[in-house]
Chain A
Amino acid sequence: MSSLPALFGVLVFTFLLMRVLPGDPAVFFASGPNAGKEEVELIRKQLGLNKSIPEQLTLYLYDVGRGNLGRSMMTGQLVTKDLRERLPASLELTFTALLIALVSAVPLGVIAALKPGSIIDHSVRLFCALGVCVPTFVSGLLLIYVFYYLLGLAPDPTGRIDVFTSMPPSRTGFLMIDFLIAGDIDGWWAAFKQLILPALSMALFVIAPLARITRASMLVSLGSDFVRTARSVGLSWRHVVVTYALRNAILPVITIAGIVFSTMLGANVLVEKVFSWPGVASYALDALLSSDYAPVQGFVLLMASLFVLVNLAVDVCYGIADPRVTIE
């Protein structure tokens, strides 16, 4: 719950950043650079920009409290509506990437730690060293080049679904699930092919930190006194590695997984731009570049809320995994 004050902090912070600092949005939304003073004043009034800063903040907080994040100038829709429509796309992408990353990173880290100094260990370390160096936007573009242009395996890298497939009836907003519910296997496959490249490029970037921390904490675990104790009474190799070493080693991985998820929320901006993914990040980015700040605020606020939820989930997982921690 320690992250709740952070949520409020982010709220005030985004507000201040957007309103106090230079860059007058009223001028931007006026008809053109030659717009008259009156026109600018009018827009200013419409946006509530003529009130004092504390007043604006109070109004803003009041609006946020009622679930009103304002209206986007770009789409002309309520920001909450836009975000709600686009959030599932971002979440589906992020969760898939996290799943890919965890499923590949944890075994890699464990195998490397079990045989330190072996060829496997060295290849894992090399892979990790390279993995953190390639920015997501570069790896995404290179994946497009190889799988779309060279091999022709992947579909046109724009959007969640190609133009020939019709959207399934929306239940969860996650296409992978909605297509399954609708029983449309072809649609599922089409959506999967769209999803896999962006998810992969995002996962590639975070496999490295996850594998590294798994390997490191597994090494610490394997060298610890309690593993020696377990070996000293003759427990089987499996029992020692899985029940004693791995269960302890997974604790730091949980913490890092939380941070990694957070990083991926940020990396969404890059990946969604590369793959024209209709998620919240690309929406916020477009708004940002046109000084439409209600969507940006809404986006940052959404990220902050997600981040509070993620931290809560991490705390709960940690509390379950480690009896030394008590959840308040």
Chain B
Amino acid sequence: MTEPLLKIDNLHISFSTRRGVVEAVRGVTLSVQEGEMLGLVGESGSGKSVTGFATTRLLDAAGRVTAGKILFRGQDVTKLSGDDIRHLRGAAMSMIFQNPRSALNPIRAIGTQIADAILTHKRISKNEAYAEALELLRAVQIRDPERRMAAYPHELSGGMCQRVMIAIAISCNPVLLIADEPTTGLDVTTQKVVMDLLAAIAAARGMATILITHDLGLATRYCRRIVVMEQGRLVEEAAPKRLFNAPQHAYTKRLVAASPTASSRIDDLVTEEERGPYVEACRKPKPPPAPGTPPLLVVHRLVKRFDQGAAAVADFSMTIAAGESVGLVGESGSGKSTTSRMICRLIDPSEGDIVFDGQAIGHVPARDFHRSPFRKDIHMVFQDPNESLNPRFTAFDCIAHPLMRLGNLRGGDALRQRVEECAQRVGLPADLLPRFPHQLSGGQKARVGIARAIACRPRLLVLDEPTAALDVSVQAVVLQLLDRLRREDDIALLFVSHDLNVVRMLCERTIVLRNGAIVEQGESRALFDNPKTDYTRELVEAIPHIEIETRLATAAL
């Protein structure tokens, strides 16, 4: 075997922070061959990005390599002088970043930014550099490249910005490309296009690529070899197939289980001990509603316009039966959040009716809805658990708030009892209740948010991307919890998400939304297996799945 292009040997990196020195990477050893695409997978805090930044010596000032070597073509990068590393960057190794929009200089035309990179490493004239930049824009498939040369980043979409970023990164034909979460934050369909492009370019130019991602599915789709990191350590390294069929390390096993696939069910995502005691009781199938029972919620021809602009939501109708779970799927700007807030009566619709339990509630202005008897029947779980808890409230206060406002509990033992009961139902240890949000982990905050939402036993729970900000292993536990609570309390769920895998598992019915209008709706399984519209098909195909046969093989083991 030839000498690898990049060899990282027993790398240690620590950061000095306000709370002392934190070890972010503790002894990582890995290698990358020429032309190979390596997946570096891990959840937040695993040290995967830090490893990438150390390779190009772009660590923050607070970070320092404390031990180990990074050999790039035999040279130790950590020992190079500032000038030497600058000659390597761009010319031999370059990076692609998360958040393409902020990664580009906002006040410099994109053509000039590409030319800047070219002129740094090649002794050519300005005009030649601009000609090369134009070629690169063509190579990354930007439409109308001549005109785009003079465009500024704010005039381009996120996906386009990422293509420009790729163009800058490959401008001097580096041999190693480090892509740090290159598609996080982009829409599903854009994600696939950008990743396909990146893979094609890397293959065509024979560039080795390190794909740093939290998404195991994405890594399996594009990489031949995957390295899994956890808390600064490398826990497993294998080909995708072996990783899925026979994960060795306990963490990898959990990660593989938690990553949803095209056929996994909610219960598959978590291991036995995480599932908790309630599971068996709620496994029993729900009896079908008696014929003629009126639906819990009827939404009729809802329209929302902001400031006389185009309608954010146009002509949206749906029903939810008691205890039913419905998924609302769409990309950013599809109007799904607006719809969910109208149904939750936090904002007023411009037109249309909302009928809850046989009573029209759409005409009650949102500013007066807090007095409605239905306020306690409709509750919501919000997107980012970090932002959904009042920083000045303890976990106890958060859960107690709806009980005091809507449940007529004024304090004392009754309140304490109810709060503790709610906490127990969401699996939140009672000793965490006096803590403030910043003292809780992401998963714990999500649990507090859910406990608050179910405290008054609502009949309809609207969930706005409740797991989007969570690591996949935490997401699995939260999804399982939500499914269990729904069965126990017979709560109807409206689950808003961009993640089709999650919706498919959790929801009986799915509605696909695009530009404020319904594209397709139907029973989840049928809709995902056999999409009727092109848009839904595109969405479904863009999901980075782990192939079904690998999954079946796992089941057989």
Contacts and interface: CB of A to CB of B under 8 A. Distances in A.
Interface of A: 224-226, 228-237, 239, 243-244, 247-248, 251, 321-324
Interface stretch (B90-98, B341-349, B466-474): B90-98
Nearest to B117: A233
B120 A233 contact: yes
B117 A244 contact: no
A247 B106 CA distance: 10
Nearest to B112: A243
A232 B106 contact: no
Given A225-B97, A229-B168, A235 B120 contact: yes
A324 B156 CA distance: 12
Given A234-B90, A236-B86, A236-B120, A228 B107 contact: no
Nearest to A232: B95
Contact of B107 (A229, A235, A248): A248
A235 B103 contact: no
B105 A230 contact: yes
B467 to A, nearest CB: 26
B116 A225 contact: no
Interface in B165-217: 165, 168-169, 171-172
Nearest to A250: B107
A229 B168 CA distance: 9
Contacts of B109: 323
Contacts of B457: none
B453 interface: no
A121 to B, nearest CB: 13
A168 to B, nearest CB: 43
A248 B120 contact: no
A90 B89 CA distance: 53
Contact of A239 (B87, B89, B120, B168): B120
Given A224-B102, A226-B105, A248-B107, A234 B89 contact: yes
Contacts of B91: 234
Contacts of B152: 323-324
Interface string B459-493: 00000000000000000000000000000000000
B395 to A, nearest CB: 33
Contacts of A235: 90, 116-117, 120
Nearest to B154: A324
Contacts of B90: 232-235
18 contacts: A224-B102, A228-B58, A229-B105, A229-B168, A230-B116, A232-B95, A233-B89, A233-B90, A233-B94, A233-B169, A234-B90, A234-B91, A235-B116, A236-B86, A248-B106, A251-B107, A322-B107, A324-B152
B116 A226 contact: no
Nearest to A223: B60
B103 A225 contact: yes
B10 interface: no
B540 interface: no
B121 interface: yes
Contacts of A228: 58, 97, 103
B386 interface: no
B99 interface: yes
A112 to B, nearest CB: 15
Contacts of A323: 107, 109, 152, 154
A53 B94 CA distance: 72
A248 B105 contact: yes
B89 A229 contact: no
Contacts of A229: 95, 97, 103-105, 165, 168
A180 B33 CA distance: 71
Contact of A234 (B99, B102, B121): B121
B432 interface: no
B107 A231 contact: no
Q: 10 tightest A-B contacts by CB?
A: A233-B90, A234-B89, A234-B90, A233-B117, A225-B102, A226-B105, A225-B103, A232-B95, A234-B86, A323-B152
A233 B106 CA distance: 17
Interface in B86-139: 86-91, 94-95, 97, 99, 102-109, 116-117, 120-121
Contacts of B99: 225
Interface of A is mostly: helix
B406 to A, nearest CB: 43
B252 interface: no
Given A232-B90, A234-B86, A234-B88, A226 B106 contact: yes
A237 B169 CA distance: 18
* Max chain B Cβ within 10 angstroms of own Cβ: one of A232, A243, A323: A232
Nearest to A235: B120
B261 interface: no
A220 to B, nearest CB: 12
A324 B106 contact: yes
Given A224-B102, A244-B105, A323-B107, A233 B168 contact: yes
B78 interface: no
A107 B82 CA distance: 24
Given A225-B99, A228-B97, A247-B107, 6 more contacts: A229-B103, A233-B171, A234-B91, A234-B120, A239-B116, A322-B107
Interface string B229-249: 000000000000000000000
A235 B112 CA distance: 13
Contacts of A231: 58, 89
Contacts of B97: 225, 228-229, 232
* Max chain B Cβ within 10 angstroms of own Cβ: one of A244, A247, A323, A324: A323
B61 to A, nearest CB: 8
Interface in B49-70: 56, 58
Contacts of A224: 102
Given A239-B116, A324-B154, A232 B107 contact: no
Given A234-B91, A324-B154, A226 B102 contact: yes
A14 to B, nearest CB: 36
A244 B88 CA distance: 20
* Max chain B Cβ within 10 angstroms of own Cβ: one of A224, A231, A251: A231
Contacts of A239: 116, 120
Given A233-B94, A234-B86, A234-B88, A324 B107 contact: yes
A247 B109 CA distance: 13
Contacts of B172: 233
A324 B120 CA distance: 27
Contacts of A225: 97, 99, 102-103
Contacts of A243: 108, 116
B89 A232 contact: yes
Contact of B94 (A232, A321, A322): A232
A217 to B, nearest CB: 13
A236 B120 CA distance: 7
A326 to B, nearest CB: 11
* Max chain A Cβ within 10 angstroms of own Cβ: one of B99, B105, B108, B121: B105
Contacts of B94: 232-233
Nearest to A245: B105
A309 to B, nearest CB: 25
Contacts of A237: 86
A254 to B, nearest CB: 12
Contacts of A234: 86-91, 117, 120-121
B82 to A, nearest CB: 8
Given A232-B89, A233-B169, A234-B90, A226 B120 contact: no
